[in-house]
Structure 1
Amino acid sequence: MDMKNKNPFLVHNYKYLITFLWCYSSLFCSAIDTMKYGDWIRDNVNSREKTIKLVSAKEMFELGFFTPKGSPSEKRYIGIWYYNLSPKTVVWVANRENPLVTTSRTRGGTFGIGEDGNLQLFDYSAGKGRSFWSSNLESSSSSNRTLTLLDTGNLVLTEYNGIRLWESFKNPTDTFLPGMKMDEILTLTSWKDQFDPYIGDISFTKGEGTNSFMIRNKTGTRWKSAEVSMFLSSNQMPTTITNFLENKRGVAHKNTTYKTGPEISNYNYSRLVINSNGKLEYLSWDQNWTVAWSVPSDRCDGLNICGDFGICNSNEQMRSCRCLPGFKSSLVEEWYSGDYSDVCSRGAKLCNGNDSFLGLKMMKVGRRDSTTSIQVNNVTECEKTCRDDCKCQAYSLETHQNSWNRGDSTQTNLSCWTWSENLNDLQEENITKDGVHTFFVRVALSNLKDETSNPRIVKPRRRKSLYLIVSLTVTSVIVLSIIIISFISWRKRKTKRRGMETLDRKQSVGINGPNFRGKLQRRSID
């Protein structure tokens, strides 16, 4: 039979039929990549029969029953892991909330397509037993449905017409695989701990309506990536990771647009995992699993670690948090206990005619809803924009160049960013490098007297009224000095004249006095 000239659908079914007949007629066959209604994967842990597993066509992944390393041996789960990799690396777990508990009296579990068309996990100790997990689809005829484990690791339940009804890529646990697509619906959830796949406290998701990704726990957001091209942020994700997460050839939910992206094969044996310790790790396989990237990378990499108006410096060994220059610590006990959530505050109110803009070299500043950007011509315009708004807390200037379509000409544009809410998520630039932006924070001059020797501070940009005061003061000193010098000079001249007059009088008395014996003569000058 010339298989190349046949209908692909018939070829697929023909191959499946041959594989099915061969496997089920052989005592040695225990693994297939596709199963239909009536086929069951049985966990024969207390039987001499070989455990059946679902293995992808190219032997990339397999599905079966397992017990996590370090977990009680009686707890059994149905899951997917890499085929023939040691140690076993599980990437998906079905019944993570409801493990089967096996004993010497039980026969274990069974997994397959149930009578209602759903994927079902049963304890078949007493016939069909009770359900431990289901795909929770609407009940329907199951006779024409098939379940396939793909080489991507995606477990797919398909209708007879090829429509995908359910897939593990849309119902992940703690692992993101090549071919998946991270959108606002998808959420990764950590294991409870490294031995227990139960739903943990840490999750990883994409922000709604943004290009940022977040790590959360029960109390809130622990880490947040910068949005694409977000100004003044160190949390930019590497291109490799963003391409991996936004693989346009991956599975997408409704209303998702496909665009050209990297080939899935470029990421074979790579995975992204959210761990119970709060870290997101990107790992690749080369004889063993290597962590190529992870976040948070250090204490300062978390979200708003030092609270509002607090700066984090990961190089500080004793205490990584401190208040912005010109701000003060209001809660000393919390400060030394490591709770920086509400410690730093302003020492004086703004907009009283005595403000200054203090320049700081920053590598990360949190973005708030009120953070805005406008085009300006120079830094003076940017400062004026912030100064004229009493709500403005800080500003910074972003320089970017645009190339013309014709020729090699470029145009430099300046964007003025302003912050009108409490400043948060501040991280200091620890390594001097070109291109670090200066972040100008609005402070009261009365709070800067103790900061004059701070080497971290860039020369402050003060208000024009201050320059006027300084100018008037200098001018007054000069004028006063001139007056004093003139007065001293006048006094000297006056004293000198008085001395001359006294001498003249003395000489006059000597000539006309009673002891004079001479005779005065007049001399004419011809």
Structure 2
Amino acid sequence: MATGRVVPSICLFVLSCFFLKVFNGTIAATDTLFHGQVMRDSESVRSADNTFELGFFSPGSSTKRYVGIWRINVPSKDVVWVANRDNPFSGSSQLVLTINDDGYLVIVDSRMTYRVSDDPSSQNVSATLLDSGNLVLRNENFDILWQSFDYPTDTFLPGMKLGYSRKTGKVWSLTSWVDEEDPNIGDFEVRMDRSKSHEVFLMRGSEALWSTGAWDGVRFALMPEMRLNYIFNYSIYSDENETYFSYALYDPSIITRFIVSVSGQLKEFSWLNTSQEWVLFWAQPRALCDVFNSCGPFGSCSKQSESCQCLRGFYSSERGIGRGQSGGCTRRMALNCGIGDKDRFFRMDDVSYPLSSTEQSNSSYSSLSGPEVSNRDAKACELACLNSCSCTAYAYNKSGHCLKWFGDILDLQQLSGKDPDGKTIFIKLSASEFDSSGGAKKFWWIIVIAVALVVLLPASYIVSQWRKSLKNKETGEADTSQDILLFDMEMSMTSSSEFSGSDKLGKGRRKDAALPLFSFVSISVATENFSLENKLGEGGFGPVYKGKLLNGQEIAVKRLSKRSGQGLEELKNETMLIAKLQHRNLVRLLGCCLEQGEKILIYEFMPNKSLDAFLFDPNNRGLLDWRTRVRIIEGIAQGILYLHQYSRLRIIHRDLKASNILLDSDMNPKISDFGLARMFGGDELQANTNRIVGTYGYMSPEYALEGLFSIKSDVFSFGVLLLEIVSGKKNTGFYHSNSLNLLGHTWELWKEGRAPELMDPSLEEQVSYPVLLRYIHVALLCVQEIAADRPTMSDVVSMLTNELTVLNSPKEPAFSSARSAINNPNQHASRPELCSVNNVTVSLMEPR
């Protein structure tokens, strides 16, 4: 902002006092401060629409007084501009804001005068606070002589500029506060770089920490969330006089806040009236490792732990290195550079290449081919760096290029071992950093560990089997330690007679229905004779147990209850279908058991239970961060798409719900419980049934009311699931006086432009608002009342993963209100049989 001028003077004070006496000391309730009026410390000026207020304030617990502008319609004082951020005043009864005889906007107290505005070049001046939050000084012709928008502090309001003027040299930039109680200029600045066309940088002094990337006409290259937004209209203007970035709101009634925080993050918020809080729309850089050179020279930033570590052979230049230390790391032992022992290289895997000075060259053997030549290329690259004193690291990539780094290694990031973008780099260290005896020590440790494993593992196995044998003898049971799985046996699942009381397998076998057969004894041993301690849960099918096979594999055992009047048809159906399906997002059926009148299915064990155990449990909900929820959503969508389109059969699941989505050890989703699923022929689009089975809240209207089901039935269920995952709420709850369920509640928020309020509060500051709104939009398209209006799962996957996919406007969801539930235009006069909710769930499990 403009540099204020402080003029301490007794004469000036006397003149100021005379000035205050001549012109009455209060201002009228208006948006304008006229020449000759004063605004005292306890008074203020408000914009015409009562959106913004100009007055004196003290940030936090500070006693210092500042003149600032803040929003009126939010409870906490949201200061968007500070006039005297570099020169606060102490509280005084004489403290006023006024326009002096020279036309300057000034702050005056008993000690000094602080000039806020530049030379107005006019005598008859007034100051008006506009509805935009811009304070403007104007002459009698209403020409703008000065405006606060030309001197932004830490907040970027709609209509402000972020850029520069070629004509005047003026720069419009944002600067952070020092801390929450000191609005003076802090460490961070957001500005455009004249040398980099249409690109905004986050700076710390002269050091660039982060960049938006270049403008492509719609968004900045490194900010994909800008394309997926329903609130902000971003733009860049450039001509021969000036270049600047600006934005407006599609809906002016929306309250937003765009700031550069004291910690150096750009954040954009939206205000939610219902919850009376700011909700983060997006933030950049999102994490420590996204800030350029956050760990300093020769430090590496871990993407997993968001912390800094010094490279091997280096120590912290500061007292500690953890969250981020710009001082970086210092080499422990100087490089020899050809003197004495040669330097050597330390290999680092799974990294992103540093951004410091790099030289790329092709190997002299690039015209040849073969593994031997490739090895020579890599060796030549190593020698080239070794023989250069200034070379500090090298890499030989898959393209046959030798990359060399010189001087400080900056912005090196340590990625996870599973990251496909991970690369390998070799850091040059002094030969003294390598212990020559280290290899021998490592070799002997390997031998010791190997011997221990060879001796201890068989011994522990023998002891465990001996104990089981003793236990079986005490209970009168046979020794089952040698009972193994009969993986080479096949069974036919093509007739219901094979699921009768007989223990014999049917003879009409089909190779494509082959499934491993477990003996009952082996399953009994695995579950410790179906003990209560191993019981995971029980549903309409029967109990489910956790088990452990002799080879150590954990399993989930679903046992058909002999007293159950249901489940027999579902067992046959599930076995037939799931045995033919192979997809990473479908639970894997390992085999079955049909001995001694038992009907048992054996599945892979899912250690993280089902989705509902996390989603609807207040104690566990926080474990589902936004990235995990996105992975679950996309995994479920891919699994359903496989069932509908890419499996050998077209399969309708008919019972998609949160409790039927199981989570593996990495929180990846797997669809389970195919007992209610139905197989379609290649040309079939829908079918009809008189037996409605499923779970209310997830059933589509045409299925629940007419018995019609199709792939669009699963799409409806997925839409319900998507809303539940985003909100953390069950569909069957009541959320609004006019809403029957979550669908109706979502629809009301969507119509009123308050869809972000649906977000689970535990996701605060994790969610990109454009992505959140897109997911809600897709969910509403999936739960539309008429099946033909809903997208296919292929469309859904495209809409979720491709930000360029255009979304249609959704229609009102089914069952969203009492009216839509009762007056369904497609409802037939005669309804099929409706089964109760207790009779439609195949299984309800706790942890698997």
Structure 2 residue corresponding to 1:43, chosen from 31, 36, 40: 40
Shift of the 31–431 alpha-carbon distance from structure 1 to 2, 3 Å rule, reads farther
Say whether the 8 Å CA contact 2:126–2:137 is kept in structure 1: yes
1:168 Cα shift? 1.3
Q: Percentage identity across aligned positions?
A: 28
1:241 Cα shift? 10
TM-score (norm 1): 0.56
Q: Distance in 1 between matches of 2:419 and 2:353?
A: 14
Shift of the 360–142 alpha-carbon distance from structure 1 to 2, 3 Å rule, reads farther
| Higher Rg of the two aligned structures | 1
Matched, 1:169 2:156: no
Q: Distance in 1 between matches of 2:56 and 2:134?
A: 17
Matched, 1:213 2:201: yes
Say whether the 8 Å CA contact 2:308–2:321 is kept in structure 1: no
1:85 Cα shift? 1.5
Residue identity opposite 1:84 in structure 2: N
Worse overlay, 175-184 or 372-381: 372-381
Say whether the 8 Å CA contact 2:314–2:330 is kept in structure 1: no
User: 2:96 maps to what in 1?
Assistant: 109
Aligned residues: 379
User: 2:301 maps to what in 1?
Assistant: 312
Structure 2 residue corresponding to 1:98, chosen from 74, 77, 87: 87
Worse overlay, 344-353 or 166-175: 344-353
Within-5 A mapping of 1:113-128: 114-123=100-109
User: 1:61 maps to what in 2?
Assistant: 52
Say whether the 8 Å CA contact 1:216–1:222 is kept in structure 2: yes
1:94 Cα shift? 0.8
Say whether the 8 Å CA contact 1:181–1:246 is kept in structure 2: no
User: 2:765 maps to what in 1?
Assistant: none
Q: Distance in 1 between matches of 2:140 and 2:398?
A: 56
1:347 Cα shift? 5.6
Structure 2 residue corresponding to 1:273, chosen from 240, 256, 259: 259
SS in 2 for 1:257: strand
1:321 Cα shift? 0.8
Say whether the 8 Å CA contact 1:307–1:344 is kept in structure 2: no
Worse overlay, 75-84 or 334-343: 334-343
1:82 Cα shift? 1.0
Residue identity opposite 1:95 in structure 2: N
Shift of the 95–362 alpha-carbon distance from structure 1 to 2, 3 Å rule, reads same
SS in 1 for 2:243: coil
Matched, 1:289 2:274: no
Within-5 A mapping of 1:478-493: none
User: 1:341 maps to what in 2?
Assistant: 329
Shift of the 214–149 alpha-carbon distance from structure 1 to 2, 3 Å rule, reads same
The one-character-per-residue Cα deviations of 1:388-429 (angstroms, maximum 9, x if unpaired) are 674664357699xxxxxxxxxxxxxx9997644432111111
Q: Distance in 2 between matches of 1:306 and 1:197?
A: 27
User: 1:132 maps to what in 2?
Assistant: 114
Q: Distance in 2 between matches of 1:246 and 1:386?
A: 51
Shift of the 44–253 alpha-carbon distance from structure 1 to 2, 3 Å rule, reads farther
TM-score (norm 2): 0.37
User: 2:65 maps to what in 1?
Assistant: 76
1:91 Cα shift? 0.7
1:35 Cα shift? 4.9
Say whether the 8 Å CA contact 1:398–1:417 is kept in structure 2: no
Q: Distance in 2 between matches of 1:398 and 1:255?
A: 47
Matched, 1:183 2:163: yes
Q: Distance in 2 between matches of 1:183 and 1:272?
A: 16
User: 1:48 maps to what in 2?
Assistant: none
User: 2:394 maps to what in 1?
Assistant: 394
Within-5 A mapping of 1:249-264: 255-257=241-243, 263-264=248-249
1:313 Cα shift? 1.7
User: 1:9 maps to what in 2?
Assistant: none
Unaligned runs of 5+ in 1: 1-26, 46-50, 230-234, 400-413, 455-526
Q: Distance in 1 between matches of 2:313 and 2:157?
A: 47
The one-character-per-residue Cα deviations of 1:114-154 (angstroms, maximum 9, x if unpaired) are 3223222234x7xxx952233132x63222x4433333322
Residue identity opposite 1:140 in structure 2: S
Shift of the 363–93 alpha-carbon distance from structure 1 to 2, 3 Å rule, reads same
Within-5 A mapping of 1:464-503: none
User: 1:30 maps to what in 2?
Assistant: 29
SS in 2 for 1:289: strand
The one-character-per-residue Cα deviations of 1:163-221 (angstroms, maximum 9, x if unpaired) are 5432212212222222223236334333343233344455444456243522426xx74
Q: Report the structure, 1 or 2, having the larger helix content.
A: 2
Say whether the 8 Å CA contact 1:180–1:245 is kept in structure 2: no
Say whether the 8 Å CA contact 2:155–2:260 is kept in structure 1: yes
Q: Distance in 2 between matches of 1:99 and 1:371?
A: 47
Matched, 1:329 2:314: yes
User: 1:485 maps to what in 2?
Assistant: none
Residue identity opposite 1:342 in structure 2: T
Shift of the 328–61 alpha-carbon distance from structure 1 to 2, 3 Å rule, reads same
SS in 1 for 2:226: helix
Say whether the 8 Å CA contact 2:45–2:54 is kept in structure 1: yes
Q: Report the structure, 1 or 2, having the larger strand content.
A: 1
Tell me the C-alpha RMSD between the 2 structures: 5.2
User: 1:141 maps to what in 2?
Assistant: 122
1:353 Cα shift? 10
Q: Distance in 1 between matches of 2:411 and 2:333?
A: 15
Shift of the 101–312 alpha-carbon distance from structure 1 to 2, 3 Å rule, reads closer
Shift of the 172–350 alpha-carbon distance from structure 1 to 2, 3 Å rule, reads farther
The one-character-per-residue Cα deviations of 1:325-356 (angstroms, maximum 9, x if unpaired) are xx523679967898743246676648999988
Say whether the 8 Å CA contact 1:315–1:430 is kept in structure 2: yes
1:452 Cα shift? 13
Q: Distance in 2 between matches of 1:242 and 1:90?
A: 28
Say whether the 8 Å CA contact 1:60–1:83 is kept in structure 2: yes
User: 1:482 maps to what in 2?
Assistant: none
Q: Distance in 2 between matches of 1:85 and 1:266?
A: 18
Q: Relative contact order (C-alpha < 8 Å, sep 6+): which is higher?
A: 1
Say whether the 8 Å CA contact 2:97–2:105 is kept in structure 1: no
Say whether the 8 Å CA contact 2:95–2:107 is kept in structure 1: no
SS in 2 for 1:59: coil
Say whether the 8 Å CA contact 2:65–2:89 is kept in structure 1: yes
Residue identity opposite 2:97 in structure 1: T
Residue identity opposite 1:111 in structure 2: T
Shift of the 89–374 alpha-carbon distance from structure 1 to 2, 3 Å rule, reads farther
